[in-house]
Structure 1
Amino acid sequence: MTKISVLDILYDTTVDGPGFRTSIYAAGCIHKCLECHNPQSWDYANGQEYSIEELLDIVSVSEFANVTFTGGDPLIQVNEFTELAKKIKTFTHKNIWCYTGFTFEQINKSQKLSQILPFIDVLVDGKYMNNLYNEDLPFRGSSNQRIIDVPKTLQTEEIILKEDFFI
């Protein structure tokens, strides 16, 4: 049975995307951003293992909350998060946001990392950079990070930023 190492799960949060969301904080990160707000998430061993089915049950509890994958970096466990995203899309109507330190371009070039793209709606990409911090930016910490509309980007083959945060 496939397991995902999870540092935390937040219910009905409003900071990891628009509206109420169930946020799954992945354990494990290779980016180690300076001034990271969640450095305990860097170590995969700090997480608790959940099966895909357990996480699907958890995100299904709230009929109205959508889903955010964050961390750490969910793409460190990309096979597992892809499987979870597929099941969320198959069994619910929820939209999925994914935060990662990788850029869209890095993800799209990688056969392994890009497997998740068809199953997520929004990608917040790029490392957190403390010198580019801006508290006025919605749903991200530094101005280098982009909020990408993944389906439109995949369709047009050029980066399309999400401008409307209403679901």
Structure 2
Amino acid sequence: MNESNIPDHKEPELRIAGLVQESIVDGPGLRLVVFAQGCPHRCRGCHNPHTHSYEGGITVSIDAITNAIIQNPLLDGVTLSGGEPFLQAEGFAELAARVKAMGLHVMTYTGYIYETIVAGLNRHDGWRSLLDNTDVLVDGPFVLKQRSLSLRYRGSSNQRLIDVKQSGRAGQAICIF
């Protein structure tokens, strides 16, 4: 076989705004948090406005993130935040699948609502896999007028914490609390 016939193998990558190695506020237990770079929602009052640009952030391999997770045996899970993880659904789905294979919990934040994601599962590459590998989905845009500091794991009262597995079985969003 000639060298020109060998396909280029590119390690899967994500464009991220950053990582938090240990967080206790972005989901249950001790978590590694991955902030996606790029967001179409651009919510007024967003906690992470630096994640909005599609050109910002850094490109990092999924292997590098996986290795960071492996290096911390105290982690209970990984949170995929944003920006918007569903814009890079295939890469985040792969990362989420690796996290699940390690026996860890996956929580995904999105500015889309659950029903929009379910309706788009067959139209958007990676959406089904990312949703299937998510335990808890925090859905909906941040709404400044509905902001509350007393809400667990979310910024505004319109956002829901959805049990993805139960919701799939029920055919509708099942909120955790």
TM-score for the superposition, normalised by structure 1: 0.93
Structure 1, unmatched stretches of 5+, are none
Q: 1:8-157 alignment to 2 at 5 Å? A: 8-65=18-75, 66-90=77-101, 92-110=102-120, 111=122, 112=124, 113-157=127-171
Q: Deviations over 1:12-65 (max 9, x none)?
A: 211111111100011010000011111110112211111111111112221121
Counterpart of 1:63, as a letter, is P
Counterpart of 2:80, as a letter, is F
Counterpart of 1:108, as a letter, is V
Ranges of 4+ aligned residues in structure 1 off by more than 2 Å: none
Q: Distance in 2 between matches of 1:146 and 1:9?
A: 23
Which structure shows the higher helix fraction? 1
Percent identical pairs in the alignment equals 33
**CA deviation after TM superposition for structure 1 residue 72, in Å:** 0.7
Counterpart of 1:160, as a letter, is I
Q: Distance in 1 between matches of 2:36 and 2:146?
A: 24
Counterpart of 2:49, as a letter, is P
TM-score for the superposition, normalised by structure 2: 0.88
Partner SS for 1:160: coil
Alpha-carbon RMSD = 1.1
Matched length: 162
